[in-house]
Amino acid sequence: MTTQASIPSAKRLLRTLNGEALWPPPMWLMRQAGRFLPEFRAMREKADFLTRCMTPDIATELTLQPIRRFGMDGAILFSDILILPWAMGQSLRFVAGTGPVLGAIRSEQDLLALDPARIAEATAPVLETLTRLRAILDGPDAVGVAKPGGTTLLGFTGSPFTVACYMVEGKGSREFAITREMAFREPALFDRLIALLTETTAAYLCAQVEAGAEAVMLFDSWSGLLPPSEFRRHVIAPTRQIVQAVKARHPHVRIVGFPRLAGVMIAEYARETGVDVVALDTGADMRTVSTLLPETLGVQGNLDPVAVLAGGEAMRREALAIREAGRGRAHVFNLGHGVLPETPVEHVEDLVRTVRETP
């Protein structure tokens, strides 16, 4: 399948990812397929999280739910950043109330037990899901599902550092102290883990593009925990390698990077990694950041998910201020982090109307 169409696309999100400033900006929301949707919660009772990710019928349906309901400009694959370590053989469970639980990687022996040769076969159902989604979104049956003008299909992975956080810690954390200690105490071992993730992430993203993803996003949710020297080593350098490897095979594919909580390091990240769009977290002021980033670079973001939870006039005011701050620049309207599970559906409906229809 050729996904690298050089013909100009009419899809608004894809145009913005290619550097065009559109008004109003195209929009989608991180974690738009999630527990805040009643139809998602209904599917949740039928299968556990990994089964949902690995069953193309279910993952396709879950990806499309927010597209049907809100007509988002982007459909993000229903999957998870922890699928890659799981595909290499690391044990993974999602425990209600706790989150992910993995068999922690703490030694060279643990690292050597990971088998990148398993990835292609283990992730085949994910790639099948992308192929089906692309056929649906671009096909004659898209009426009633996709947005007029087209829905862009997004693939994703975690970035090496963020995935390493979960792999080493063995669970979620606010600090990932064990992981950061390993990076300082056993730099050679940690470098090997990052190198393994860099290589497998690039290959997996290429496979996603070949299966039908039109753009990809790298989630680096915990990059902001690192001091500048380590940020350069474990975030900027691996991200640059991934971008180069993906673009060597797919020169036209657009890549969104999300170095969450990176603070002022976002400027260096934007200059040096080669990503096309930088996703801003909630704390980044779009006007200030805009002056720090190359003019041609797109931005994504960055409404506070809590503003959407709260809804009403405060949400609308914040949303319109962000929309205005992005005027004249390639801007993808989104949140600064994922939709919160308790968010009322009507607040998201109101947000979509506000961003699209306010003159």
Binding residues for substrate: 31-35, 80, 166, 221, 337
Q: Kind and range of the H or E element at 15?
A: helix 12-17
Q: Is 269 a catalytic residue?
A: no
For the chain, give the number of residues: 359
Nearest-angstrom CA–CA distance, 275 and 257: 6
Q: Which of 35, 106, 232, 249 is catalytic?
A: 35
The reply to whether 55 sits near ligand CP3 by the rule CB under 6 A is no
Alpha-helix runs per DSSP H in the chain: 12-17, 38-44, 49-54, 56-70, 83-87, 108-112, 119-122, 124-138, 160-169, 177-185, 187-211, 228-231, 237-249, 265-273, 286-292, 305-310, 312-325, 345-357
9: helix, coil or strand?
coil
Distance of closest approach, residue 187 Cβ to ligand CP3, in angstroms: 24
43: helix, coil or strand?
helix
Q: What does the block give as tokens for 7?
A: 């013909």
Instruction: Point out the annotated binding site.
Output: 31-35, 80, 166, 221, 337
198: helix, coil or strand?
helix
Q: Is 48 a catalytic residue?
A: no
Q: Which is nearer to ligand CP3, 62 or 329 (CB)?
A: 62
Q: Is 44 a catalytic residue?
A: yes
Binders in 130-169 for ligand CP3, by CB under 6 A:
156
Binding residue for ligand CP3 (CB under 6 A) from 190, 219, 231, 333? 219
Q: Which is nearer to ligand CP3, 81 or 209 (CB)?
A: 81
Q: Is 31 a catalytic residue?
A: yes
- Please name which of 135, 197, 154 lies closest in space to residue 66, comparing C-alpha atoms: 154
Binders in 263-282 for ligand CP3, by CB under 6 A:
none
Q: Which of 15, 73, 166, 180 is catalytic?
A: 166
DSSP state, residue 85: H
Q: Which is nearer to ligand CP3, 242 or 290 (CB)?
A: 242
Q: Is 271 a catalytic residue?
A: no
334: helix, coil or strand?
strand
The reply to whether 81 sits near ligand CP3 by the rule CB under 6 A is yes
Q: What does the block give as tokens for 94?
A: 């999602």
Q: Which of 12, 52, 80, 254 is catalytic?
A: 80
* Candidates 27-35, 111-119, 198-206, 207-215; binding stretch for ligand CP3 (CB under 6 A): 27-35
Residues in contact with ligand CP3 by the rule CB under 6 A: 30-35, 44, 49, 76, 78-82, 94, 99-100, 156, 172, 219, 221, 338
Q: Which residues are catalytic?
A: 31, 35, 44, 80, 166
